[in-house]
Amino acid sequence: MKALGIYLVVLGHFYSIGEKFIYVFHVPLFFLISGFLVKKENDYCVFWKKLWYNLAVPMLVMASMNIVFDWFPYMVRGTFCPMELYWFVRNVVFGMVSGFDALWFVYTLIILKILFQYIFSRRFFYALTIVMLALAYIYNHVDMAVFPFFLKEPNAIMNTFTAFPFFALGVYARDFRVMLNGLNRKMIIIFLSGLLVVVGCCFFNDIVAMYCCNYGDSMLLFLFGGVSGSIMIFAVSKLFGHAFGFIGIISKGTILILGFHKMLISMIRTFCSESFFDLLFSALIVMLFVPLIILTEKYFPLIMGKYRVKM
């Protein structure tokens, strides 16, 4: 599911083929998976160390590398403004999408993990979904022009409002893992049903933009689309059966692909305009990361989030 999801993330960032359709569910899919895989630590010190080394450090390293990549042409021409460094640090501290780009997902995921770790009641955690959706509604219907920049500009903190329901659903689905693992029949029907709902949500709802806490025109269609799309990807994954070796590698390295795939997209866009070849280019980018993931895991584990804290 993670491998299919990251392919859709890359394809979606080409902003061409099926963009609106993909945005209905590809980000909700990853938050749902993250909720399903989340683990509450008994030792709070262990929790913070894992959060720091497995998410925060890779996010900060990759965000810094991306911004240097963007600044490099200006540095070469001698037109780089030192104030850009201040703006970058400010944006990173406040979780601004302008500082993290696609890595805003990781910042939001850190917040969700903290909430899960420190909310002792599972019922209260689920009930918080209603509060988050209410905040998302308010955020999208109130004029934010008079508020500080970290409220009116797209940022990972506000994005928690729309991400939380899918993360909470993933946590809830953990109670049914045995049943889910046993689902092998009727996967085609489940896939087609999920696809039909996603198409309907895509048609009747405006484009979903979770990077700016935007659920489109309808919150209900946003939720239905995100859940149905996740079910659709689940069904496809079950139809595949056991994942091939390279799919497992892609799954382990989704954070690396998330952090650096836009560099490759920008290079491709200098030579090729929007076309159906974007479907192929997206697959090519994901496959190019397979050897990079292997090398990074071996020689630069800090970037992969694979730095394991010895207890």
Show the tokens assigned to 64. 């810094």
pLDDT of residue 109: 98
Q: What is the pLDDT of residues 142-196, one digit of tens each?
A: 988 788 888 889 999 999 999 999 999 999 999 998 888 878 778 999 999 999 9
Query: Is the distance from CB of 164 to CB of 129 less than 8 angstroms?
Result: yes
Q: Identify whether 148 is part of a domain.
A: yes
The contacts of residue 259 (CB under 8 Å, 6+ apart) are 58, 59, 62, 63, 65, 66, 102, 103, 303
Q: Identify whether 117 is part of a domain.
A: yes
Q: Identify whether 111 is part of a domain.
A: yes
Indicate if the pLDDT at residue 311 is higher than 60: no
pLDDT of residue 184: 78
Going by the DSSP 8-state scheme, the letter that residue 308 receives in this structure is: P
Q: What is the pLDDT of residues 242-273, one digit of tens each?
A: 767 889 899 999 999 999 999 999 999 999 88
Q: Identify whether 310 is part of a domain.
A: no
Q: Identify whether 15 is part of a domain.
A: no
Maximum CA pair distance of the chain? 62
Q: Identify whether 204 is part of a domain.
A: yes
Q: Which residue range forms the structural domain that includes residue 178?
A: 2-9+28-265+273-304
**Exposed/middle/buried for 55, CB within 10 Å: 0-12, 13-18, 19+?**
middle
Q: What is the pLDDT of residues 18-60, one digit of tens each?
A: 999 999 999 999 999 999 999 999 999 999 999 999 999 999 9
What does each C-alpha distance from 45 to 41, 183, 301, 310 come to in angstroms?
9, 38, 21, 12
Q: Identify whether 311 is part of a domain.
A: no
163: closest CA among 213, 197, 205?
Answer: 213
Q: Identify whether 21 is part of a domain.
A: no
Phi-psi region of 214 (alpha: psi -120 to 50; beta: other; left: phi over 0): beta
Give the total number of structural domains in the chain: 1
Query: Is the distance from CB of 171 to CB of 40 less than 8 angstroms?
Result: no
pLDDT of residue 307: 56
End-to-end CA distance of the chain: 31
Helix count and strand count (H, E) for the chain: 18, 0
Among the ranges given (180-184, 276-280, 287-291), the one the predictor scored with the smallest mean pLDDT: 180-184
Element (H, E) at 11: helix 2-12
